[in-house]
């Protein structure tokens, strides 16, 4: 029974969340995802703003080609399959998408999931047992943390991108049957990239497997968008890749595990989110196939994204902001102070720039920032507009010198 006691408890918790300023509010869009969106400010007035907080890196969220491919696939293969894959939820297009992802990522085989959250939730438990070790970066995504929890392997956590600490963990895990090093390819809060060359070297020295979650790297890193391994010229060295179709690749939903043949084969037999959750909708499969075709045929979207990221970072640096130098499309604009970051984000929205301020506990204390995510869909005019707004707000809040440029 939903008792008064429980109701009061939940209310108290909600009030605590609110009083700590941690209440997440959803901003409702009335347009497709894109460089320009229509939404409402906190006081309810409609604004059109330039969007810098989507994972729509390649600008494919409203691509007419993808929408058309999704619509055609839906007409040809129906709306939904009402089944898990191994009963009657596998169509030719699901096999085709697995083959195309494998081809794109340069792996043996690929298995689809409803989301990358499920891929990470289902990848560890079938492969590793109590006699094994998982060694995970401290800043890895929540879905990796949850997936590791579901597995009986011993857990080791190394300080973020700290290779000495990783080596310490590898030593401590020396007695394990198998060791798996697990990292995000691009970390979502700082946009920094995993130190894959060193991770692969350590993996070789200590006989460990390497798994990389490529959600923010697929379609973003590497000359042709193959991700972190391509960025570092380490193709073929990563044993397990997990990634999403819900970010750069059109942004609908779905994810996968891609990698060594026997690993994927066992996941098909034992991975619980694959076995017990519905298959991907045909429209999503068709749209994702088109996204991969677009990427495979031309580097124009990636080139555009990279050019935009460089353009924005250069101009923000010239305006006096401290911008870390990396190859990802995530730009943390560091304001350090928690209140300032949230206030700046609100002021920027009033100027038509939609960005999100992140403060403790999402990021460490004193490391508050505004996170800017660039897209191939942004025009130089829109980027100029953003830099001008940042400069005005930054000057007003005393974050940069008025003569910063
Ligand atoms: C977004 C993200 C996920 C979850 O992907 P979904 O397909 O949205 O479930 C997992 N890992 C990382 C690193 C992510 O950024």
Q: How many CB atoms lie within 10 A of CB 79?
A: 10
Instruction: Give the closest residue to 202 by CA, choosing from 230, 165, 177, 176.
Output: 165
CA of 227 to the centre of ligand 1 (A): 15
pLDDT tens figures, 157-198: 999 999 999 999 999 999 999 999 999 999 999 999 999 999
Whether 242 contacts 123, CB under 8 Å: yes
Cα diameter, the chain: 66
Strands (E) across 152-270 are located at: 154-158, 179-184, 208-213, 240-244, 255-259
DSSP state at residue 281: P
pLDDT tens figures, 227-237: 999 999 999 99
Helix (H) or strand (E) holding 169: helix 163-172
Instruction: Give the pLDDT mean for 125-148.
Output: 98
pLDDT tens figures, 70-95: 999 999 999 999 999 999 999 999 99
Instruction: Give the pLDDT mean for 33-41.
Output: 90
pLDDT tens figures, 310-352: 999 999 999 999 898 888 999 999 999 888 998 999 899 989 9
Closest residue by CA, ligand 1 atom 1? 215
* Per-residue H/E/C for 313-345: HHHHHHCCCCCCCCCCCEEEEEEECHHHHHHHH
CA of 122 to the centre of ligand 1 (A): 13
Does residue 255 line the site of ligand 1, with CB under 6 A? yes
The predicted pLDDT at position 402 comes to 63
Does residue 141 line the site of ligand 1, with CB under 6 A? yes
Does residue 140 line the site of ligand 1, with CB under 6 A? no
Alpha helices (runs of H) in 78-162, residue ranges in sequence order: 85-88, 92-105, 116-123, 142-149
Does residue 241 line the site of ligand 1, with CB under 6 A? no
The predicted pLDDT at position 383 comes to 98
Which of 192, 221, 246 for mutating ligand 1's site (highest number of atoms within 8 Å of CB)? 246
Does residue 127 line the site of ligand 1, with CB under 6 A? no
Task: Please say if the pLDDT value at position 403 is more than 70.
Answer: no
What's the token pair of residue 386? 């953003």
Q: Backbone phi, then psi, for 244, in 5-degree steps?
A: -120, 150
What's the token pair of residue 380? 């130089």
Distance of CA 65 to the CA centre of its chain: 23
Where does the pLDDT of residue 31 fall: very low under 50, low under 70, confident under 90, or very high at 90 and above?
very high
Where does the pLDDT of residue 405 fall: very low under 50, low under 70, confident under 90, or very high at 90 and above?
very low
Q: Cα–Cα distance between 12 and 298 in angstroms, integer?
A: 54
Which of 244, 255, 274, 288 for mutating ligand 1's site (highest number of atoms within 8 Å of CB)? 244
CA of 258 to the centre of ligand 1 (A): 15
pLDDT tens figures, 260-275: 999 999 999 999 999 9
Where does the pLDDT of residue 404 fall: very low under 50, low under 70, confident under 90, or very high at 90 and above?
very low
Q: Which atom of ligand 1 is nearest to the CA of 253?
A: 7
Three-state secondary-structure class, residue 136: strand
Instruction: Give the closest residue to 196 by CA, choosing from 155, 167, 147, 163.
Output: 163
The residues, ordered by sequence, that sit 6+ positions from 4 with a Cβ below 8 Å of its Cβ are none
b/e string for 40-71 if b means 16 or more Cβ within 10 A? eeeeeeeeebbbbbbbbbbbbbbbeebbebbe
Task: Please say if the pLDDT value at position 107 is more than 90.
Answer: yes
For the chain, percent of residues with pLDDT exceeding 70: 99
287: exposed, middle or buried (Cβ count in 10 Å: 0-12, 13-18, 19+): buried
Whether 369 contacts 333, CB under 8 Å: yes
Q: Cα–Cα distance between 131 and 282 in angstroms, integer?
A: 40
Q: What domains, with CATH codes, occur in the chain?
A: 26-55+299-396 (3.90.1150.10), 64-297 (3.40.640.10)
Report angle CA 202, 134, 211 to the nearest 5 degrees.
Answer: 65
Which of 141, 218, 219, 227 for mutating ligand 1's site (highest number of atoms within 8 Å of CB)? 141
Does residue 373 line the site of ligand 1, with CB under 6 A? no
Q: Which atom of ligand 1 is nearest to the CA of 188?
A: 15
Q: Which residues are catalytic?
A: 188, 216, 247
* Residue 285 C-beta-side C-alpha neighbours within 13 Å: 29
Does residue 143 line the site of ligand 1, with CB under 6 A? yes
Is the model more confident about 24 or about 204? 204
pLDDT tens figures, 357-372: 998 888 888 999 999 9
In what side-by-side order are the strands of the sheet with 255-259? 109-113, 255-259, 240-244, 208-213, 179-184, 133-137, 154-158
Average pLDDT value over all residues in the chain: 95
CA of 395 to the centre of ligand 1 (A): 35
Which of 184, 247, 248, 328 for mutating ligand 1's site (highest number of atoms within 8 Å of CB)? 247
For the chain, percent of residues with pLDDT exceeding 90: 86
């Amino acid at each position: 029974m939903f008792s008064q006691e429980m109701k009061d408890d939940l209310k108290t918790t909600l009030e605590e969340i609110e009083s700590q300023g941690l209440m997440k509010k959803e901003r409702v869009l009335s347009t497709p995802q894109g460089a320009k969106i229509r939404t409402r400010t906190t006081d309810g007035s409609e604004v059109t703003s330039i969007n810098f907080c989507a994972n729509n890196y390649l600008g494919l969220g409203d691509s007419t080609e993808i929408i058309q491919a999704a619509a055609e696939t839906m007409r040809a293969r129906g709306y939904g399959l009402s089944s898990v894959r191994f009963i009657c939820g596998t169509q030719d297009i699901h096999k085709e998408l697995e083959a195309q992802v494998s081809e794109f990522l340069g792996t043996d085989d690929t298995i689809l999931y409803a989301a990358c959250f499920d891929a990470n939730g289902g990848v560890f438990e079938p492969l590793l047992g109590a006699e094994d070790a998982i060694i995970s970066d401290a800043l890895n995504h929540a879905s990796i943390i949850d997936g590791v929890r579901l597995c009986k392997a011993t857990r080791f956590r190394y300080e973020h991108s700290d290779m000495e600490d990783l080596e310490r963990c590898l030593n401590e895990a020396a007695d394990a049957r198998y060791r798996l090093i697990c990292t995000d390819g691009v970390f979502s809060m700082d946009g920094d990239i995993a130190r894959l060359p060193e991770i692969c070297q350590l993996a070789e020295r200590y006989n460990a497997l390497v798994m990389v979650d490529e959600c923010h790297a697929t379609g973003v890193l590497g000359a042709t968008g193959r991700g972190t391994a391509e960025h570092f010229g380490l193709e073929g060295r990563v044993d397990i890749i997990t990634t999403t179709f819900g970010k750069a690749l059109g942004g609908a939903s779905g994810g996968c595990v891609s990698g060594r043949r026997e690993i994927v084969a066992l996941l098909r037999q034992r991975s619980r989110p694959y076995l017990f959750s519905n298959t991907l909708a045909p429209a999503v499969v068709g749209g994702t196939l088109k996204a991969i075709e677009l990427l495979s045929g031309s580097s124009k979207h990636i080139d555009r994204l990279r050019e935009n990221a460089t353009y924005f970072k250069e101009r923000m640096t010239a305006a006096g902001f401290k911008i870390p130098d990396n190859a990802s499309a995530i730009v943390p604009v560091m304001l350090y102070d928690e209140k300032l970051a949230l206030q700046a984000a609100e002021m920027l929205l009033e100027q038509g720039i939609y960005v999100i301020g992140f403060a403790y506990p999402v990021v460490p204390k004193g490391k508050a920032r505004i996170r800017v995510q660039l897209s191939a869909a942004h025009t130089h005019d829109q980027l100029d507009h953003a830099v001008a707004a940042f400069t005005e707000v930054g000057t007003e809040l005393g974050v940069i010198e008025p003569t910063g440029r």
